[in-house]
Amino acid sequence: FPVENIRNFSIIAHVDHGKSTLADRLLEMTGAIAKTERNKQVLDKLQVERERGITVKAQTASLFYMYNGQTYLLNLIDTPGHVDFSYEVSRSISACQGVLLIVDANQGIQAQTVANFYLAFEAQLTIIPVLNKIDLKNADPERVASQIEKVFDIPKEDCIRISAKLGTNVDQVLEEIVKRIPPPVARGDEPFKALVFDSTFDHYRGVVTNIALFGGQVSKGDKIMSAHAGKVYEVNEVGILRPEEQPTDRLYGGQVGYLIAGMKEVKEAQIGDTLFHQKHPVEALPGFKPAKAMVFAGMYPVDQSEYSSLRSAVDRLTLNDSSVTVQRDSSHALGAGWRLGFLGLLHMEVFNQRLEQEYNASVIMTVPTVPYKAVFSSAKLIKGHRGVQKNMVYIDDQRVMMKYLFPLNEVIVDFYDHLKSLSSGYASFDYEDAGYQPADLVKMDILLNGKPVEELAMIVHRDKAYSSGKALCERLKDCIPRQLFEIAVQAAIGSKVMARETIKAYRKNVLAKCYGGDITRKMKLLKKQAEGKKKMRRIGNIEVPKDAFISVLKRK
Ligand code: GTP
């Protein structure tokens, strides 16, 4: 395929502005998928994506498009919009020369529109602004085009106005991709050089890598090597994604596709690695900046006997989501486990859900915390500021963009939900790391019947210690079911108890309603109770539901 006729692009946008819907239309119009109701959001393959209606993984699709009598190969990489998954966006972008920047013509520029724009801008990609949802009654594409001109310095005439839902002007999008985005720079006569920009683990075939070819070509039977692991592999299969895998004889420079080469170990296919022919070593591509974990939590198997199967599940899932960091850890109450780092709370929930759905694993996650650097000294005295305004820009007369410096701990849990409800859904939010700041923090222990539970301990600001302790005890009281004996729930700093709640003794006698002798019914009820207990975790002699560790953090 002539490299001049290849276009590699990705779609970026704020959450819900219509990326996946536009991707569906592009796939339909180029004949990659049939036009049916069933084919909605085809690139959202994961169960968690379908359930939550959000994209968490970037996906790739190759489309063939006829323009001016020539066939073009358009490689589309769909990306997630939520702030927690921006790592996926930056990885996708590295395989592209251009992006479609989708903006909802009703909502206008939002926080992730700005964040994603800069990712593409800094990578020096061609940016095509696309105003979506012009079919909506309240759509105001004129206003949004002016916002784009003002904030991004892109002439408003460059905006394409579409309705991804109805298909209006989507043909223009295809045309403009061909006209405005440059083809990749790659020559077929160079040595083979490819960037691994994604990889998944397949139970039967081992590691499947998604690669972008920066030069040369690769086909079945070739002996290749990876710069990182330094091992030699024979290529078993190459092909393109349409979006289903379609084997081809060869992949050429400039193309995007998949490659299977008998890599059995997750570690062998690092995302960001460079592949080359064994006989023609090349300089490794720069790869990716490692993702920076913002939230940490402990994870343990519900049953210790599941430790090793859980470990391989975590290995495989982190291959597919390399932004998660993993360290071994162990806990007095919960046994052997790991300490995982995530980009945000939604990221952590999605990871947990994928483990359960894709690997059938049952885990306990502990209270998430943000990283701190502790300095032990008698004078830890500098008062930390909790939210300092940095600057403010009026996007137009209806919208303002404000920058604040916040302690990460204040924004990580439910700041976003709170902001949404305060602004009736109008405000949007994005964040980046601003480094460590000194603050007056204390460790708050949670005690169940006098015994501290390390997994529930947290670091809080001294000024908030009393109110957080009280709220936490109240929430734990709601989470922990009554048991045969009374349970005291206390929050303490050192030896000083800040708050206390009591859970009264009680036992649910599941057999109470079973008079007389129906033994099978009795067995059934006891079995059901036992299943309920599986979801519990024994701490000392107290049973704590496994989701208590996270749910205590959320505001009611
Ligand atoms: P994430 O994958 O979660 O980042 O969202 P997304 O940007 O992919 O948005 P998605 O395509 O899921 O669309 C969000 C919602 O907007 C869905 O309910 C779509 O049906 C709706 N939508 C998308 N395009 C249009 C459009 O052109 N007009 C109207 N009226 N609704 C649209």
ipTM for this prediction? 0.97
CA 362, 368, 370, 376 torsion-angle sign: negative
Q: Which atom of ligand 1 is nearest the CA belonging to 132?
A: 27
Q: Which residue owns the Cα nearest ligand 1 atom 15?
A: 16
Q: Which atom of ligand 1 is nearest the CA belonging to 162?
A: 27
**Which pLDDT does position 382 carry in this prediction?**
29
Do 194 and 274 form a contact (C-beta atoms < 8 A)?
yes
**Which pLDDT does position 383 carry in this prediction?**
32
The CA 396 to ligand 1 mean position distance, Å, reads 24
Task: Give the DSSP letter of residue 285.
Answer: P
Give the bridge partners for 461, in sequence order: 441
Q: Which of 12, 14, 21 to mutate to test the pocket of ligand 1 (most atoms within 8 A of CB)?
A: 21
The CA 169 to ligand 1 mean position distance, Å, reads 16
Per-residue pLDDT of the chain (556 residues; tens, 9 = 90+): 788 999 999 888 887 899 888 988 888 888 766 555 555 555 555 565 555 555 545 567 888 999 999 999 999 876 655 555 556 666 677 788 999 999 999 989 887 788 788 888 988 999 999 999 999 999 999 999 999 998 899 999 999 999 999 999 999 999 999 999 999 987 767 899 998 887 777 778 888 888 889 889 999 999 999 887 788 999 999 999 887 788 999 998 888 899 999 887 766 777 778 899 998 888 877 766 666 777 788 888 877 788 888 888 888 888 777 778 888 887 766 778 888 888 777 788 888 888 888 888 878 877 777 665 544 433 272 233 355 555 556 666 666 666 666 666 665 555 666 666 666 556 666 666 667 777 777 888 888 888 887 777 777 878 878 888 888 888 888 878 777 788 888 999 888 888 898 888 775 555 555 455 556 666 666 666 555 555 566 666 777 776 666 566 554 4
Exposed / middle / buried, residue 496 (Cβ in 10 Å: 0-12, 13-18, 19+): exposed
DSSP, residue by residue, 216-277 = SEEETT-EEEETTT--EEE--EEEEESSSEEEESEEETT-EEEEE----SGGGS-TT-EEEE
The CA 43 to ligand 1 mean position distance, Å, reads 13
Using a cut of 0.90, tell me whether the model's pTM lies above it: no
Give the CA angle between residues 203, 299, 304 to the nearest 5°. Answer: 75
Cα end-to-end distance, the chain, whole Å:
57
Which pair of tokens denotes residue 396?
A: 């137009």
User: Which 3 state secondary structure label does DSSP give 305?
Assistant: helix
Would the annotation count 35 as a binding residue?
no
The CA 402 to ligand 1 mean position distance, Å, reads 26
Which residues, 6 or more positions from 413, have their beta carbon under 8 angstroms from its beta carbon? 345, 368, 553, 554
Q: Looking at this protein, which amino acid is placed at residue 295? A: V
The CA 230 to ligand 1 mean position distance, Å, reads 43
Would the annotation count 150 as a binding residue?
no
Q: Which residue owns the Cα nearest ligand 1 atom 2?
A: 55
- Ligand 1: does its nearest atom lie under 6 Å from the Cβ of 116? no
Whether residue 286 has a cis bond before it, omega within 30° of 0? no
- Ligand 1: does its nearest atom lie under 6 Å from the Cβ of 165? yes
- Ligand 1: does its nearest atom lie under 6 Å from the Cβ of 106? no
Residue where the block lists tokens 């001294």: 462
Q: Which residue owns the Cα nearest ligand 1 atom 5?
A: 16
**Which pLDDT does position 384 carry in this prediction?**
34
Would the annotation count 15 as a binding residue?
yes
The whole-angstrom separation of Cα 144 and Cα 150 is: 10
The CA 53 to ligand 1 mean position distance, Å, reads 10
Do 296 and 329 form a contact (C-beta atoms < 8 A)?
no
User: Which 3 state secondary structure label does DSSP give 224?
Assistant: strand
